[in-house]
Amino acid sequence: MTARAGQDPGRHLPVAEPARTRRAALRLIRLDRRAFAGLLALNALAAGAGLAAPWLLGRIIDAVKAGAGVATVDRLALAILVCAAAQLLLSRYAGYVGHRFGERTLARIREQFTERALALPASAVERAGTGDLTTRGTTDVANVGVTLRDSGPNVAIAAVRALFILGAVFVLDPLLGACGVLGLAGIWFASRWYLRRAVTAYLAEGAANSALAEELAATTSGARTVEALRLEDRRLERCRDAIEECRRTRLGTLFLRTVLFPIVDVSYVVPVVAVLLAGGALMVRDPAAMTLGTVVAAALYLRQLVEPMNTILEELERVQAGTASFARVEGLALAPENGSAGASPVPADDRIEVSGVRFAYDGGPAVLHGVDLRVRPGERLAVVGPSGAGKTTLGRLLAGMDAPRAGSVTVGGVPVADLDPAQLRERVVLVTQEHHVFLGTVRDNLRIAAPSATDTDLRAALAAVGADWVADLPDGLDTDLGHGGHRPDGAQAQQLALARVVLADPHTLILDEATALLDPGTARHTERALAAVLKGRTVIAIAHRLQTAHDADRVAVMRDGRVTELGTHEELVAAGGAYAELWRSWHGGR
């Protein structure tokens, strides 16, 4: 199964095909089949109780016409009241059972979505955009929830009632039943026309909403960069285009409804008129074969059909939107997962080798051109070079976030991209200047990296990265972070991320401007503290501060996607190349 036509599977998260979506829905029903069977049974009983009133009313008319007394009418009227009460109670309980079924199923979908989202490679999320994943996890899951909790049970109840009502008309008189069914033909054709177009239209609307969310998130999160580079007009134009696409797709679904509903409204009148005309003609021709009560009962049944049909058609939009949303949620199962299939090979040691690596981002020019590099276990390597040289891309390949287009990146002889997530976290950890603070306490944020860590371990990790500010918080490690609690600034968030690295204790640490948000003095102190804590570990530091390179065992200089120089600080300064020029310029400026 792949992404739908028109989507680039390299850049978009997949959308499940209808067959897979149906199988997933049936699987969820089977997991709670007793509740689903009870839901159908209660709906059937409620529909059966609702059929009594028109039939009893027809009997009252015929009884009065035949000269029956008040007692007969009272008895039939009481039966109508009892049946109406039974229908009300059964419908209410059926709705209760349906809501519980929907909530349990929605909980399973949320848990499954979370597991699949966490299994996605970071590169897949970045290429697709966090807006798409966020929209699927919020708007789409919420739409599925509404369908399961409200629309699905309502449609099930209405469908059972509609079938019972039509069956009752046929039982009264097959000819009147045929007239009623033929009168509903307009609804049938209009619904088919709508259903053939609805899922595609709602999928397009969902994709447009995801694109808008991505544009808004990118613009707001990078507001300072946008302002600094004077990109306001360009970003506004992109947001306007995304909003216009949302408006266009929304109008597309609205058009479908404006065609469907007027046809339906007219079609409700046609079967009632057909039954009255046909029944009247039959009464005139043969009063013994067709009674007034039968015609009235059939007309009332068909009028009674309006309510369940309205429910079905009104909920049809939600069901179609929910189906499209479920296809997007279920599509996450088709996305690649972290690690390779089957058992992951075990690296022989911690030696890192980069051989003939070439890489280009989707649809872009080549970024790395035949990079070769060997990193010895326990070595501290600094990677320097101008912006755009390919340093960050090399770091991502070393961390297994992307796989090279050609060549290999291995740890202990095993391709990094083939390691399962658990092994990868033990071997290689990438830390960038972009850090996330999770909702919860300081302790919760740190134990993400080491669930079994004691408070002593946590405090030691914080001390190693210079996060003394935690001790000054009102509740220390129990202080809530985020909304309603302490809001860490960029530097503090960076220190929390580095403390998590200390707790994770990987064999190889890749620092991509990991201390960029700290002031120079704090950054150098933190780097030295990390070096002491991670002594004996491999550290690859991607940095613009050349002091980092000065303290490293070796320095790799990158330019235009190639490693142009490699050696110790002293060797490269003595060689008089690009690094020596950078050092003299930086040191002179210092």
pLDDT at 75: 84
Q: Same domain, yes or no, for 200 and 77?
A: yes
230 part of a folded domain? no
Share above pLDDT 90 across residues of the chain, in percent, rounded to a whole number? 2
CA distance 331 to 156: 26
Based on the fold, state whether residues 424 and 377 are members of the same structural domain: yes
Whether residue 253 is predicted with pLDDT greater than 80 in this model: the reply is yes
Task: Identify whether residues 296 and 387 lie together within a single domain.
Answer: no
Residues 441 and 552 in one domain: yes
273, 302, 334: which is the final residue of a domain?
A: 334
Answer with the residue of higher pLDDT: 403 or 10.
403
Of the candidates 61, 53, 32, 292, the residue with the CA atom closest to the CA atom of residue 148: 32
Judgement on whether residues 301 and 187 belong to the same structural domain of the protein: yes
pLDDT band at 487 (very low <50, low <70, confident <90, very high): confident
- Which of 142-156, 212-226, 399-413 is predicted most confidently? 399-413
**527 confidence band (pLDDT: 50, 70, 90):** low
pLDDT at 588 (0 to 100): 61
So what's the pLDDT on residue 495?
Answer: 83
pLDDT for 484 beyond 80: no
| pLDDT score of 128 | 66
Confidence class for position 9, pLDDT limits 50, 70, 90: very low
278 phi and psi, to 5 degrees? -65, -45
Q: Is residue 222 part of a domain?
A: no
Residue 321 and residue 387 in one domain: no
- Say whether pLDDT at 314 is over 80: no
Q: 304, 334, 364: which is the final residue of a domain?
A: 334
Contacts with 310 (C-beta within 8 Å, 6 or more apart), sequence order: none
pLDDT band at 292 (very low <50, low <70, confident <90, very high): confident
In the chain, the number of structural domains is 2
Query: What is the arithmetic mean of pLDDT over 534-560?
Result: 82
CATH number at residue 479: 3.40.50.300
- Give per-residue pLDDT as tens, 258-285: 888 888 778 888 888 888 888 888 888 8
Judge if 93 and 145 occupy the same domain: yes
Residue 313 sits in the same domain as residue 402:
no
Sole residue written with tokens 């970024």: 367
Reply yes or no on whether the pLDDT at 339 is more than 60: no
* Whether residue 158 is found in the same domain as residue 100: yes
The residue among 286 and 237 whose pLDDT is bigger is: 237
Q: Please report whether residue 247 resides in a domain.
A: no
Mean pLDDT over residues 435-462, rounded? Answer: 86
Q: What is the CATH number of the domain that holds 96?
A: 1.20.1560.10
Does 387 lie in the same domain as 280?
no
Q: Which helix (H) or strand (E) holds 50?
A: helix 33-50
- Say what the pLDDT of residue 11 is: 57
| Whether residue 269 is found in the same domain as residue 150 | yes
Provide the token pair at 243.
């909003």
243 located within any domain = no
What letter does residue 557 receive in the DSSP assignment? Answer: E
pLDDT of residue 533: 65
Domain that holds residue 429: 352-589
CA distance 168 to 55: 9
Residue 320 placed within a domain: yes
Written as six digits, the tokens of 71 are: 């007692």
Q: What is the pLDDT of residue 184?
A: 80
Average pLDDT value over all residues in the chain? 80
Of 334, 365, 385, which closes a domain?
A: 334
